[in-house]
Amino acid sequence: MSIKRTAFVLSCTLALAALSLQAQPTNGWKPNAVFGPTNAWLGDVAEIGVPGGFVFYDGKTTRALMKKVGEPVSGRELGLLMPTNRQWSVIFEFNDIGYVKDDEKDKLDADKILKSIIEGTNEANKERQAAGRPPLIVDGWEVPPKYDEATHNLEWAIRAHSGGENVLNYNTRLLGRRGVMETVLIVDPDDLQATLPQFRQLLADYKYRTGNSYAEYRPGDKIAEYGLGALILGGAAVGAAKLGLLGPLLVILKKFWVLIVAALAAVANFFKRTFKAFFGRPDKQ
Confidence tier at 69 by pLDDT (50, 70, 90): low
CA distance 45 to 179: 10
Share of the chain above pLDDT 70, in %: 69
Could you read off the pLDDT of 74-86 as tens digits, one per residue?
A: 888 999 999 988 8
CA distance 217 to 24: 47
> Who contacts 169 (Cβ-Cβ below 8 Å, separation ≥6)?
157, 158, 160, 184, 260, 261, 264
**pLDDT score recorded for residue 67:** 76
Q: What are the sequence ranges of the domains in the chain?
A: 3-279
Radius of gyration for the alpha carbons in the chain, expressed in angstroms and rounded: 19
Looking at the predicted structure, is the pLDDT value of residue 146 above 90? yes
Cβ count near 101 (within 10 Å): 14
Looking at 94-103, 177-186, 249-258, 259-268, which range is the least confident one?
249-258
Confidence tier at 16 by pLDDT (50, 70, 90): very low
Most confident of 96-105, 125-134, 164-173: 96-105
Q: Average of pLDDT values for 12-33?
A: 45
Architecture category of domain 3-279 in CATH: 3-Layer(aba) Sandwich (3.40)
Looking at the predicted structure, is the pLDDT value of residue 9 above 60? no
Q: Are residues 188 and 85 in contact, defined by beta-carbon separation less than 8 angstroms?
A: no
Q: Are residues 90 and 183 in contact, defined by beta-carbon separation less than 8 angstroms?
A: yes
Q: Are residues 41 and 181 in contact, defined by beta-carbon separation less than 8 angstroms?
A: no
Angle in degrees, CA 11, 138, 228, rounded to 5: 100
**pLDDT score recorded for residue 251:** 38
**pLDDT score recorded for residue 116:** 81
CA distance 112 to 102: 18
pTM score, whole prediction: 0.74
What are residue 88's DSSP bridge partners? Answer: none
- Side chain identity at residue 52, one-letter code: G
**pLDDT score recorded for residue 21:** 37
Cα dist. 147→125, 152, 161 in Å? Answer: 30, 7, 26
Q: Provide the Cα torsion 29, 31, 33, 39; round to 10°.
A: 70
User: Which comes out higher in pLDDT, residue 188 or 71?
Assistant: 188
Confidence tier at 112 by pLDDT (50, 70, 90): confident
Looking at the predicted structure, is the pLDDT value of residue 228 above 50? yes
